[in-house]
Amino acid sequence: MTAVPLASYVVAPSLKKGTGKWVDFGEVKDLEPDTFSMLSYEFMVKDGWLVLPQRGFVWARPDTDNRIKVFSSTCTHLACNVIWQEESRTFECPCHSGRFDSGGNPISGPPDRPLTILENKIDAENLLVFLSF
Ligand code: FES
């Protein structure tokens, strides 16, 4: 009985809509053209008396028209991390063999929704990505 309220208290902050921050991933010129680069992040989030680490990575690729396409690495099936495979030019999920094309669309395996596209902007030559938590 006591585990349910405690779990709700810890999980609830991550479910709030609109909570997140802009994360600086460095200079856009360092991104490889025509492929996805893995960009890692780590920061702490304070929520009341809790301070929790947020770690992970995103996938970013320079697009045409001076924009950057950024995907969440979170598989839309059960939230494992997808990995870009240059040979097949697909994202592959190691957990249940889900695959996504370079547009983030599911092409095989259990995922039935596309990868999440992350809001981003360029500020003073640096790539900033909005990460929700
Ligand atoms: S978590 Fe990715 S295919 Fe299941």
| Residue 18 confidence class, pLDDT cut points 50, 70, 90 | low
CB of 131 within 6 A of ligand 1: the answer is: no
CB of 10 within 6 A of ligand 1: the answer is: no
> Residue 64: what pLDDT?
78
Atom of ligand 1 nearest to the CA of 93: 2
Report whether pLDDT(7) > 90: no
Residue-range domains of the chain with CATH: 18-132 (2.102.10.10)
Q: What is the pLDDT of residues 75-129, one digit of tens each?
A: 999 999 999 999 999 999 999 999 999 999 999 999 999 999 999 999 999 999 9
Atom of ligand 1 nearest to the CA of 82: 2
- What is the SS3 assignment for the chain? CCHHHHHHHHHHHHHCCCCEEEEEEEEHHHCCCCCCEEEEEEEEEEECCEEEEEEEEEEEEECHHHCEEEEECECCCCCCECEEECCCCEEECCCCCCEECCCCCEEECCCCCCCCECCEEEECCEEEEEEEC
Atom of ligand 1 nearest to the CA of 110: 3
| Residue 17 confidence class, pLDDT cut points 50, 70, 90 | low
Note if the pTM is more than 0.95: no
What share of the chain in percent tops pLDDT 90?
73
| Average pLDDT along the chain | 87
* CA nearest ligand 1 atom 1, residue: 78
Report whether pLDDT(13) > 60: no
CB of 52 within 6 A of ligand 1: the answer is: no
CB of 77 within 6 A of ligand 1: the answer is: yes
